[in-house]
């Protein structure tokens, strides 16, 4: 949720191929025949060479747009996007000439990934390509520059509103911020509907029924099988989520009153400490099982010792180095955005970047002195180390085994930020572990990881419906809230209408970042951690394991990452875990103490919604 690295990987990967020539797409594609075209191997080799040569230009345009939001950078980014779209449309049409030919597995995989390496394929028509590029740039810029203004002299940015939602406990004040932020999305609605039309047209030109089917084709299985796999994984973890929801609702009812939080229905969406009710950790103080026991106050340490943003990033780097991984290049420290500039608008949403497919690694954040921000940094560097690990792969394979892998690397590392680890690196005081403290920590983690799972699943399910036409612009908002109630058991705190466009108030919708990756990452991180802890020789329960300092675990971890997308994700998974199937049972193992506590607390309550 805090990364657009895979959006950038998809956009940059193909835009790096923007090569060449001023020929119109229709002319170049029409010229391709099996007699005159390159061999498939030559075609892939040329594509990889062009990726390496031209990638930095497009990546730089996107970086400047994200870190300097102005009219001029919008023009630059839109032009780069349009240039990429023209190339991709023509290149994919060339690739179709190799269908039915006998190809090596590597060449066939490269050509298939080329087809799938954009999250918004453009139509072949030049005018429509230009229109799509302009729309995508516009709506992402609208989000990045969005503010809630009480009046013309009192405007609050999105990142400031997020912090207020986390800190405030006043029902009406929370409602004001919640409603206020969603006003930024209303002007996006018609633009988004047009975006859907254009991207669907591009997807159909590539041979897919719609953009959603194209997205679901990226997982080394059929689209239908991927839907079934997502449902299977959700079914594995749903009992734990249901118990958590029931307990949280009861506690919120005690705080705000059961007239505001009915005990037989969904939870009002603005009371969960997060602008989108996607992670609930900010309300931990209301839910803490044993108040004050084993409290891990990393925020206090960061503030008392006055950690700079760079020092917080150094802390994360040191963890990866302890596993035997290299230090980040000096250019990372020179070129990253660690703090919000005072003189311009930027996208503060945290993201990790590789601008050249080699060593130009960066993160983009507006870092605050909080434990949540520190965890985000550890997560973001997971992307950078993954990018570094696969940098020697051909450019077409320089991506995660699937997009969930890319998110899961850093998520896995955050599981090792145990009290023992935090004490070892001086972020908290050392103390003997108390079972009550273990339960507190599990609750805190569940409010983050387990609360997120249904949200992670439904975002793309909504978009699949939009892309297929099952959800029309007239019921965008109603369908959005139907899914949020179905999966999350939450509801809008005030009446919403189809004049609203609440999906657009979530970054990944206007930015067109596929979201299943985050759901899969939350599954994989626990599966990865269980395997890594076994490699590290951990003796004890899974929740107490930190792989900090384990070169053996680091070696296996890095070996899996080094494959990039050169092989099916099942092969990469097997290298680390010994199994070829994603498995959510590691989550159940990890949170076993919490599950017992929740069932005890919910005894006699009416759960469900």
Catalytic residue list:
349-350, 379-380, 383, 407, 508, 518
Secondary structure, 3-state, 315-337? HHHHHHHHCCCCCCCHHHHHHCE
What is the rounded (10 degree) CA torsion for 586, 587, 592, 594?
160
Furthest C-alpha separation in the chain: 75
Strand, coil or helix: 476: helix
For residue 393, count CB atoms less than 10 angstroms from its CB and return exposed for 0-12, middle for 13-18, buried for 19 or more. middle
Which residue in the block uniquely carries the two structure tokens 């805190």?
A: 444
Burial 243-269 (b: 16+ CB within 10 A, else e): bbbbbbbbebbeebeeeebeeeebbbb
For residue 159, count CB atoms less than 10 angstroms from its CB and return exposed for 0-12, middle for 13-18, buried for 19 or more. middle
Alpha carbon separation from 440 to 128, 319, 421, 556 (Å, rounded): 54, 24, 17, 31
- Give CA–CA dist 187/180, Å, rounded: 14
- Give CA–CA dist 420/425, Å, rounded: 9
- Give CA–CA dist 528/502, Å, rounded: 34
Residues 6+ apart with CB under 8 A from 411: 379, 382, 521, 522, 524, 525
- Give CA–CA dist 364/351, Å, rounded: 5
Helices (H) and strands (E) in the chain, counts: 25, 6
Burial 472-497 (b: 16+ CB within 10 A, else e): ebeebbebbbebbbebbbbbbbeebe
Q: How far is CA 407 from the centre of its chain?
A: 6
What phi and psi values does residue 473 have, to the nearest 5 degrees?
Answer: -55, -30
531: tokens are 């395997």
């Amino acid at each position: 949720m805090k990364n657009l690295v895979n959006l950038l990987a998809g956009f940059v990967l193909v835009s790096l191929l923007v090569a060449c020539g001023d020929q119109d797409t229709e002319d170049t594609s029409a010229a391709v025949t099996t007699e005159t075209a390159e061999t498939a191997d030559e075609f892939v080799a040329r594509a990889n060479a062009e990726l390496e040569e031209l990638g930095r230009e497009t990546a730089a345009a996107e970086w400047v747009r994200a870190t300097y939001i102005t009219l001029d950078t919008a023009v630059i980014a839109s032009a780069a996007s349009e240039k990429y779209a023209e190339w991709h449309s023509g290149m994919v049409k060339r690739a179709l000439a190799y269908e039915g030919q006998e190809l090596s597995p590597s060449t066939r995989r490269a050509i298939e990934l080329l087809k799938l390496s954009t999250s918004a394929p453009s139509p072949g028509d030049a005018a429509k390509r230009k229109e799509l590029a302009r729309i995508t740039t516009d709506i992402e810029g609208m989000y990045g520059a969005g503010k809630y203004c009480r009046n013309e002299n009192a405007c609050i940015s999105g990142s400031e509103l997020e912090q207020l939602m986390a800190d405030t406990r006043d029902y009406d004040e929370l409602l004001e911020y919640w409603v206020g932020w969603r006003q930024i999305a209303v002007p996006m609605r018609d633009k988004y509907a047009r975006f859907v039309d254009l991207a669907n047209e591009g997807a159909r030109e590539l041979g897919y029924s719609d953009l959603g089917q194209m997205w679901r084709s990226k997982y080394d299985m059929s689209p239908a099988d991927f839907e079934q796999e997502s449902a299977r994984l959700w079914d594995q973890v749903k009992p734990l989520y249901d118990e958590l929801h029931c307990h949280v609702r009861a506690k919120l009812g005690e705080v705000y009153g059961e007239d505001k939080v009915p005990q037989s229905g969904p939870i009002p969406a603005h009371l969960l400490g997060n602008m989108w009710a996607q992670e609930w950790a900010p309300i931990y103080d209301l839910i803490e099982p044993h108040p004050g026991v084993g409290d891990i106050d990393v925020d206090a340490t960061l503030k008392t010792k006055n950690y700079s943003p760079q020092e917080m990033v150094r802390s994360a780097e040191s963890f990866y180095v302890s596993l035997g991984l290299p230090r980040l290049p000096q250019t990372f420290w020179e070129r990253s955005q660690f703090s919000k500039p005072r003189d311009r608008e930027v996208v503060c949403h945290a993201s990790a970047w590789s601008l050249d497919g080699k060593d130009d690694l960066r993160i983009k954040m507006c870092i605050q002195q909080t434990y949540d921000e520190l965890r985000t940094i550890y997560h973001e560097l997971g992307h950078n180390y993954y990018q570094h690990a696969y940098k020697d792969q051909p450019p077409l394979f320089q991506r995660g085994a699937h997009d969930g892998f890319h998110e899961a690397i850093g998520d896995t590392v955050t599981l090792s930020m145990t009290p023992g680890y935090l004490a070892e690196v001086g972020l908290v005081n050392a103390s003997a572990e108390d079972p009550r403290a273990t339960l507190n920590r599990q609750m805190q983690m569940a409010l983050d990881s387990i609360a997120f799972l249904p949200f992670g699943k439904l975002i793309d399910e909504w978009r699949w419906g939009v892309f297929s036409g099952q959800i029309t612009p007239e019921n965008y908002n109603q369908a959005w809230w139907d899914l949020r109630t179905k999966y999350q058991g939450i509801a809008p705190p005030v009446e919403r209408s189809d004049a609203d466009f609440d999906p657009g108030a979530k970054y990944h919708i206007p930015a067109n970042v596929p979201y299943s990756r985050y759901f899969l990452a939350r599954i994989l991180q626990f599966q990865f951690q269980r395997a890594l802890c076994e490699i590290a020789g951990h003796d004890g329960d899974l929740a107490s394991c930190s792989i900090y300092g384990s070169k053996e675990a680091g070696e296996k971890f890095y070996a899996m990452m080094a494959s990039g997308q050169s092989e099916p994700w099942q092969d990469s998974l097997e290298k680390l875990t010994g199994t070829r199937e994603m498995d959510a049972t590691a989550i159940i193992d990890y949170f076993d103490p919490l599950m017992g506590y929740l069932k005890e607390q919910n005894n006699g309550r009416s759960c469900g919604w």
